[in-house]
Amino acid sequence: MPNAFNFSASPFDCLTLEERQLVRQSVNVGYYPAGAVLLAPHIPPTHLFILIKGHVVQWDGEERVSTYGPDDCFDGRALLAGKVSDRFVAAEEVVAYELRQQAVTELIASNAGFGALLFSDLGQRLSALSQRQDQHQLHALTLARVDEAYLRPAREVDAGTDIVSVARILQTERTHNVLVRDARSEPPRLGIFTVAKLAQAILDGRPLDQLPVGELADYPLLTVQRSDQIGDAMTLMLSHRAHRVVVLDGQRIVGVLESLDLFSFLSNHSHLISAQIEQAQALDALSQAAAQITRMIALMQRSGMRVALIAKLVQQLNAQLFERAWQLVAPAELVANSCLFVMGSEGRGEQLLKTDQDNGLILRDGYMPPADLDAICARFSQALADFGYPECPGRIMVSNPDWRAPLAEFSRQLREWLILPDPDSLMKLAIFMDAHAVCGDAGLLRQAREAVLALAPDNQAVLARFASAITAFGESQGWWNKLFSLGEADSGLDLKKEGIFPLVHGVRSLALARQLTETGTVARIAALVADGALDATMGAELTDSLSFFMGLKLKAGLAEIDTGRTVTGRIDPAQLSPLERDLLKDTLAAVKRFKALLRQRFHLDAM
């Protein structure tokens, strides 16, 4: 065979030198004219095809299932099963390598990664993709175990120990905290006392040698397991605005992870951004912090951090940014008597790069807002625009009076959107169902959401209209036509329309029908599976697919930023690796199966 076999293409890039030699010894080159059938139910499978030139279309009856281009391979599943289910037809002149079945069998037996990439289900293949990143990604610091960072010794004292004795321990042992065990409480509890608490002890007024440390300790402890990932510990600290976590091995305490040690280990600047946001006394300082968030995202993505964890960190930082901005422009009384919330991908915790503003404000019933409320909200929306979050084209922002109201009025509007729906109101309702509180009284948002959930299951027609939005995109032609446009000028694929939106909105629709309060798509999927409303296998497929979509979209968006282009949300299939294209076909096929389930569940074909 020629020496030009492309061993950089999946799944052959995971082969050893010996296994590559086996491929060279077991492969031939075949030529097929346009219209030739390479595989079909009446043709026994004897080879694995790896395309060199041309395209092959896979047909299931009259339905076009997939398209294969150079470096793609097929049909491994037919080889394993010993029979072919679909027809594989040359769309044009095709030249392909033909790898003998015996060689494929030997490669599967000797290389688990090769077999996983060739035959496994979607979740296993995505896992295999993750494991095949280069060494820099495999050892990305955010994926490291907690116990790989520096852990400070955990010093423990009894809750009855006086503050003077504790201060001596802090000075002698040069530590910033001690763990406090309160054995007299029921049940016994463990807390922490830090150097920062000494000021509170002094201001207490009692003699320090008579003041028990247990009265000033913070309970309960924030803990992580030593086997947890560094990124998870970072998320926990950011969400609780804490500076340390206690590290456990099961129930045994092994040390304390300080924020300075963690972030020195990571060096990805997220803690510095969080601190800058909290200390900001003017909007200009917040603008600088907002600019750093995008740079942090790029660093994390290129270091191999899980996209779900990046999104979680971004949600935490954006929430702090919006909260501090609102506190700077709104009087304290308004902040205390309202709930500022975000919606859409920001509310679900699935936003990565900056997108349109989607936010609103619920006021406490009976509260008289400031006379200049319009100006306050306009300043807030303008501040976010200055931070790089564009104004929403549909004006779903607090600067629009339609998106700020007292609780009773807001709840009435939500019920009206549900009971008397039209396309515009259903869109607004869908956006609101992802709402997440970022500042003020979160109970106001919870009460407004309950007003919708209480009515939703009683109106199947409305639920069907709500769910029908999944058919708005991707119905006129198959996504495969965009994946492999066979030379067409515009081969870009809008991943949000074709994959993310129908997945997210379909899950949102099921969650509304089941009165679930979760806002994140992954959390909703888990709740639906637990509730029996969604099959566990499909739930896993949807979770994996969403993560894959978000990763591709982020990679494409960062590339657009790097080249000075506007972030479009579109991906170019020509820029994907063969494995990424193959996985994209699988994930979009999973969304297609999900849409079929939704059509049946909500009787959409009868509408």
* CATH (residue range 12-119): 2.60.120.10
Q: So what's the architecture of 464-606 in CATH?
A: Up-down Bundle (1.20)
CA 321 to chain centre: 19
Q: What is the dihedral of CA 292, 296, 298, 303, to 10 degrees?
A: 160
Query: What single DSSP character describes residue 499?
Result: I
Smallest CA-to-CA distance from 542 within 503, 509, 581 is with 503
Annotate 180-195 with b (16+ C-beta within 10 A) or e (fewer).
Answer: bbbeeeeeebbbbbbe
For residues 52 and 94, give the distance between their C-alpha atoms in angstroms, rounded to a whole number.
8
Please give the Cα distance from 54 to 305 (Å, whole number). 36
Tokens of 585: 């076909």
Rounded to 10 deg, the angle between the 521-531 and 501-513 helix axes is: 50
Q: Would you state the structure tokens that stand for residue 433, as one six-digit string?
A: 């169902």
The torsion of the CA quartet 112, 114, 115, 120, rounded to 10 degrees, works out to: 110
Q: Tens digit of pLDDT for each residue in 590-601?
A: 999 999 999 999
Domain coordinates in residue numbering, the chain: 12-119, 146-266, 270-454, 464-606
What pLDDT score does 473 carry?
Answer: 63
pLDDT of residue 487: 42
Class of domain 270-454 as given by CATH: alpha beta
| Residues whose CB is less than 8 angstroms from the CB of residue 303 and which lie 6 or more positions away in sequence, other chains included | 136, 137, 140, 141, 142, 268
**How many other CB atoms sit within 10 Å of the CB of residue 546?**
24
Question: How are beta strands 87-90 and 37-39 bridged, if at all?
Answer: antiparallel
CA 503 to chain CA centroid, Å, is 13
- Residue in 176, 121, 184, 136 with CA at minimum distance from that of residue 538: 121
pLDDT of the residue at 62: 81
pLDDT value of position 122: 60
Instruction: Note the pLDDT of residue 484.
Output: 46
Are 26 and 103 in contact by the 8 Å Cβ rule? The answer is: yes
**pLDDT score at 174:** 78
Alpha-carbon gap, residue 230 to 253, rounded angstroms: 17
The token pair that represents 307 in the structure block: 């996209």
ω into 33 cis (within 30 of 0): no
Q: Tell whether omega for the bond before 220 is within 30 degrees of 0, i.e. cis.
A: yes
CB atoms within 10 A of CB 567: 15
Residue 137 is predicted with a pLDDT of: 41
Q: Given the structure tokens 């591709």, which residue do they identify?
A: 552
Integer Cα distance of 345 and 326 in angstroms:
20
- In a 10 Å sphere around its CB, with 0-12 CB exposed, 13-18 middle and 19+ buried, how is residue 222 labelled? middle
Q: Are 83 and 45 in contact (CB under 8 A)?
A: yes
Contact between 564 and 427 (Cβ < 8 Å)? no
Query: Is the CB of residue 90 less than 8 Å from the CB of residue 34?
Result: yes
Model pLDDT, residue 266: 62
Residue 286 host element (H or E): helix 283-303
Q: pLDDT at position 124, please?
A: 59
The pair of three-digit structure tokens given for residue 45, joined into one six-digit string: 């499978």
Of the candidates 225, 217, 199, the one whose C-alpha atom is nearest the C-alpha of residue 157 is 217
Residues in the chain predicted with pLDDT less than 70, given as ranges, are 1-3, 119-143, 263-272, 303-304, 457-458, 473-491, 578, 606-607
Q: Are 338 and 448 in contact (CB under 8 A)?
A: no
Conformational region of residue 486, where left means phi above 0, alpha means psi within -120 to 50, and beta covers everything else:
left
pTM of structure: 0.68
pLDDT in tens, 486-513: 444 455 788 888 899 999 999 999 999 8
Residue 571 to residue 28: CA distance in whole angstroms = 34
CATH 3.10.580.10 at 146-266, yes or no: yes
